């Protein structure tokens, strides 16, 4: 294959991709050839990760620093070299370093005499009080060097930069650092976050730093610079056991592996790798369309001699929370249809009602093998749950955020910010109303205590059962309980006591409690008593809602009418005469979330949610980023109002989805013979 005319450098982002899967190097950067499901909006990525603002704060800590602003590789390298030669001591931001066809931009490069410090700035939280945070502690006791899975990606990143610098500047001694958000640090200035706003410039994020901002203006450091030389040395010497020789490309050592990646990428040659369970989240696992190809399909077809039609079948790593997928694939069992009951070994969990995890996994397999569209409902257990609830029923959902750079003095990085809730009520006669909502959108304001006051006012009118979906709401309220303990709010004791009535303390909490009105987790009920094949193993409310809407003719009949937000229908705070049921060409009910207007440009809520890999965060990812836009970006009042309205509508649908799930179960159990239209 002829060498591309333009040099293709192996950068740190490409190197990280190669560590995940070397074959991805061939598919990446070819938007007209391979379908890529990963988000391609840099501005949204910046909002999701928060790294741009942390990077800008880090630069303030080095007031002597000089930035290399040139984008073109060769010129940036020349500018960096000139700065390094200009003085014995110099600090460079975005330093460009090249060795052969390896190229890195270093966040902060600090030269002191004949020593170079590589400082990689990350928005990742870090507790400096923890001993040996970068290694697996159990393995370390046995003198085995296994990198902590939490920090491994960051360590490989800085190790690669260090390697390139050592090769490019062999006469210098190179040391390696991570600069991270210090979980133990307390902000000493008010409004620190508002000094660093994001601006969307042609889809790319830039940070607008408050004019004239000086080092003394940002107060005590909330980022900590941590030496990682030991971990980098372990990586360079190949002593990191999580990447044993068999896990490396062709069994190569560190330097040889990098050279191989760089050569293959430079020549645009595919690196064949063995597909496995790690392919589940591959961004190239997308159906081929519009003349573009599926990289995922190409890999599996080549390695397993599979046909495209076969790859549309559910695979073993699609089973919910399944840890045996890799070993089954290695033994030739790739698809769910290939599995036998002993591959799952479903067993009941002693003392617990409902499905165990393994029983639910086997249920997913069994229904898929039968090609069944019928849901599983444990009617007896659900009926017992229903009998324990007190009307009126309250359904609540929170939207929250965590930011590396706090808004307020006295706060730590990544303290939870609860900025929104929605609240639906179902009465004993079946009537439904969107009873209340709260949204704190004021820029730079710490929202939590007003949030709890509003929630308390909304829920304290009766003793009806309160429902949440997953652990998030309980966790957030417990965290706010601790914030109130450390606060000087005049009603802190009252708010703390009320929080304890509707929550259960975490296992690690210094104070233990289980409130008399502790919230019921509907997600837990789904896991134990309900499964619909349409969800493909997911327990997310975003997957459960379309499943129940397609399963229930009763709900379809009710919500296909324009009763939601109607004068004589169901009370809504954000909708008027709305029909929730619409069908597509094949008669399937459309996803209600996809019917709401896009929050940002042409990107749907579901697409925005995918920026967050963690399942618990993903469902609220779009709201989190919308809040970030309102807090951290420059916009006019009209834009702010439009985003606020979008947040209110989406959050209202979150609690309505819980109501619909309740109504579906009630109808299935025969407890709602005549569901009211209003």
Distance CA 500, CA 70 (A): 55
68 and 208 housed in the same domain: yes
Instruction: Provide φ and ψ at 601, rounded to 5°.
Output: 50, -125
Number of domains in the chain: 4
For residues 454-466, average pLDDT: 98
Give the separation between CA 424 and CA 435, rounded to whole angstroms. 5
Quick one: pLDDT band at residue 42, thresholds 50, 70, 90?
A: low
pLDDT of residue 2: 46
Chain-centroid distance of CA 235 in Å reads 27
Res 494: pLDDT: 98
Q: What are phi and psi of 130, to 5 degrees?
A: -80, 140
- Choice among 131-145, 169-183, 197-211 with the minimum mean pLDDT: 197-211
| Spatial distance between the Cα atoms of 160 and 166, rounded to a whole number of angstroms | 10
Burial class of residue 73, CB neighbours in 10 A (0-12, 13-18, 19+): middle
Closest Cα to residue 269, out of 1, 668, 478, 648?
1
Whether 529 and 516 map to the same domain: the answer is no
Decide if 43 is inside a domain: no
DSSP 125-158: EE-TTSSSTTB-HHHHHTT---B-TTTHHHHHHH
Q: Residue 350: which residues within 8 A CB-CB, separation 6 or more?
A: none
- Mean pLDDT calculated for residue range 27-41: 83
Q: Which pLDDT does position 672 carry in this prediction?
A: 65
Q: Is residue 254 part of a domain?
A: no
pTM of the complete model: 0.91
Evaluate whether residue 163 is within a structural domain. yes
Q: In this structure, are 622 and 498 located in the same domain?
A: no
For residues 204 and 323, membership in a common domain is answered with no
Rounded Cα–Cα distance for residues 89 and 344 (Å): 61
Alpha helices, DSSP H, located in 5-91: 12-20, 24-27, 42-49, 51-60, 73-86
Task: Indicate whether 100 and 173 sit together in one domain.
Answer: yes
Q: Domain boundary at 479, 506, 521, which?
A: 521
Determine the length of the chain: 678
Q: Considering the domain boundaries, does residue 217 fall inside one? A: yes
Residues 460, 571 within the same domain: no
- What is the pLDDT, as a whole number, of residue 678? 39
Query: Considering Cα of 665, then 668, then 674, then 678, what sign does the dihedral take?
Result: positive
> Which has the closest alpha carbon to 10: 32, 24, 292, 111?
24
Smallest CA-to-CA distance from 107 within 178, 46, 47 is with 178
Domain closes at, from 343, 375, 407: 375
Task: Indicate whether 190 belongs to any domain.
Answer: yes
When mean pLDDT is compared across 1-5, 95-99, 291-295, 457-461, the lowest value belongs to 1-5
pLDDT of residue 600: 60
3: which DSSP letter? P
C-alpha span between 194 and 35 (Å, rounded):
38
pLDDT in tens, 594-646: 888 776 655 555 655 555 544 444 455 678 778 888 887 777 888 888 889 98
Q: Among the residues of 345-405, which ranges form H helices?
A: 357-369, 379-387
pLDDT at residue 39 in the model: 55
Instruction: Find out whether 419 and 409 touch, Cβ atoms under 8 Å.
Output: no
Output the average pLDDT for the chain: 91
Q: Is the dihedral of CA 607, 613, 618, 621 positive or negative?
A: negative
473 & 614 share domain? no
pLDDT, residue 425, reads 98
Q: Using alpha carbons only, what angle is made at residue 458 by residues 457 and 464, rounded to the nearest 5 degrees?
A: 115
Flag whether 187 is in a domain.
yes
Calculate ∠ Cα 414-50-92, nearest 5°: 115
| Within-domain flag for 18 | no
d(CA 359, CA 116): 56
Whether residue 29 is contained in a domain is answered as no
Report the percentage of the chain scoring pLDDT > 90.
Answer: 74
* Whether residue 270 has a cis bond before it, omega within 30° of 0: no
Summarised one tens digit per residue, pLDDT across range 347-403 is: 998 778 999 999 999 999 999 999 999 999 999 999 999 999 999 999 999 999 888
pLDDT at 1: 40
Helix (H) or strand (E) holding 195: none
pLDDT in tens, 503-539: 999 888 888 999 999 999 999 999 999 999 999 999 9
Contact indicator for 392, 361 with CB cutoff of 8 Å: no
> Is 80 in the same domain as 100?
yes
Instruction: Give residue 44's pLDDT band: very low, low, confident or very high (50, 70, 90).
Output: low
Among left, alpha and beta (phi > 0; psi -120 to 50; other), residue 179 is beta
pLDDT over 60 at 3, yes or no: no
Residues 504 and 531 in one domain: no
Is 194 in the same domain as 301? no
Residues 232, 131, single domain; the answer is yes
Domain boundary among the residues 375, 410, 440 is at 375
Work out whether strand 520-521 and strand 466-468 pair parallel, antiparallel, or are unpaired: parallel
Tell me which residue range forms the domain holding 363: 277-375
Tell which phi-psi region holds residue 172, choosing left (phi > 0), alpha (psi between -120 and 50) or beta: beta
- Is pLDDT at 590 greater than 70 in this prediction? yes
* Sequence-separated (6 or more) residues with CB below 8 Å from residue 502: 459, 466, 477, 515, 517, 518, 519
Q: Give the residue from 466, 411, 406, 410 showing the smallest Cα distance to 435.
A: 466
Residues 57 and 75 in one domain: yes
Q: Give the CA radius of gyration of the chain.
A: 27
């Amino acid at each position: 294959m002829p060498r591309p005319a333009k040099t293709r450098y192996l950068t740190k982002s490409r190197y990280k991709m190669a560590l995940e899967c070397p074959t991805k190097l061939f598919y990446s950067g070819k938007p007209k050839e391979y379908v890529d499901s990963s988000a391609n909006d840099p501005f949204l990525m910046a909002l999701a990760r928060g790294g741009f603002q942390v990077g800008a704060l880090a630069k303030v800590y080095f007031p002597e620093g000089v930035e290399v602003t040139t984008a073109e590789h060769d010129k940036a390298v020349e500018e960096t070299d000139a700065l390094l030669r200009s003085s014995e001591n110099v600090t460079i931001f975005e330093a460009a370093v090249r060795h052969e066809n390896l190229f890195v931009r270093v966040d902060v490069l600090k030269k002191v005499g004949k020593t170079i410090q590589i400082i990689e700035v990350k928005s990742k939280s870090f507790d400096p009080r923890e001993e040996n945070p970068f290694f697996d502690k159990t393995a370390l006791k046995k003198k085995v060097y296994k990198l902590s899975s939490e920090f491994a990606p960051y360590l490989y990143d800085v190790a690669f930069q260090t390697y390139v610098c050592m090769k490019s500047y062999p006469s210098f001694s190179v040391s390696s650092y991570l600069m991270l958000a210090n979980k133990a640090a307390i902000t000493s200035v008010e409004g620190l976050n508002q000094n660093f706003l994001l601006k969307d410039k042609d889809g790319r994020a830039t940070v607008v730093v408050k004019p004239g901002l000086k080092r003394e203006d940002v107060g005590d450091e909330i980022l900590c610079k941590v030496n990682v030389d030991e971990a980098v040395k372990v990586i360079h010497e190949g002593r990191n056991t999580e990447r044993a020789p068999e896990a490396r490309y062709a069994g190569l050592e560190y330097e040889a592996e990098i050279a191989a990646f760089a050569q293959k990428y430079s020549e645009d040659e595919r690196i064949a790798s063995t597909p496995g369970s790690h392919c589940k989240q591959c961004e190239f696992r997308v159906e081929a369309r519009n003349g573009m190809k599926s990289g995922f399909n190409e890999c599996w077809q080549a390695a397993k001699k599979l046909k495209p039609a076969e790859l549309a079948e559910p695979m073993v790593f699609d089973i919910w929370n399944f840890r045996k997928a890799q070993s089954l694939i290695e033994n030739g069992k790739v698809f769910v249809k290939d599995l036998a009951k002993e591959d799952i070994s479903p067993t009941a969990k002693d003392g617990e009602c409902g499905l165990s995890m393994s029983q639910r996994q086997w249920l997913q397999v069994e229904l898929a093998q039968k090609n069944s569209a019928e849901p599983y409902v444990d009617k007896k257990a659900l009926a017992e749950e229903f009998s324990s609830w007190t009307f009126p029923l309250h359904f609540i959902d929170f939207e929250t955020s965590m930011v590396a750079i706090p808004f307020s003095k006295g706060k730590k990085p990544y303290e939870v910010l609860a900025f929104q809730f929605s609240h639906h009520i179902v009465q004993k006669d079946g009537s439904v109303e969107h009873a209340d909502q709260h949204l704190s959108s004021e820029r730079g304001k710490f929202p939590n205590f007003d949030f709890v006051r509003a929630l308390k006012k909304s829920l304290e009118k009766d003793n009806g059962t309160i429902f949440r979906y997953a652990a998030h709401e309980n966790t957030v309220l417990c965290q706010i309980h601790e914030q109130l303990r450390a606060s000087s709010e005049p009603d802190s004791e009252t708010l703390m006591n009320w929080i304890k009535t509707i929550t259960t303390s975490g296992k690690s909490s210094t104070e233990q409690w289980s409130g008399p009105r502790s919230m019921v987790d509907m997600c837990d009920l789904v896991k134990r008593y309900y499964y619909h094949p349409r969800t493909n193993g997911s327990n997310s409310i975003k997957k459960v809602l379309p499943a129940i809407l397609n399963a229930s003719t009763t709900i379809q009949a009710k919500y296909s009418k324009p009763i939601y937000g109607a004068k004589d229908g169901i009370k809504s705070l954000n909708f008027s005469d709305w029909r929730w049921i619409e069908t597509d060409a094949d008669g399937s009910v459309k996803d209600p979330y996809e019917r709401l207007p896009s929050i940002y440009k042409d990107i749907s809520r579901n697409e925005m949610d995918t920026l967050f890999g963690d399942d618990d965060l993903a469902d609220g990812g779009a709201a989190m980023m919308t809040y970030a836009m309102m807090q951290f970006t420059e916009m006019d009042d009209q834009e702010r109002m439009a985003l606020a309205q979008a947040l209110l509508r989406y959050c209202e649908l979150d609690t309505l989805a819980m109501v619909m799930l309740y109504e579906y179960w009630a109808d299935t159990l025969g407890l709602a013979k005549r569901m009211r239209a209003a």
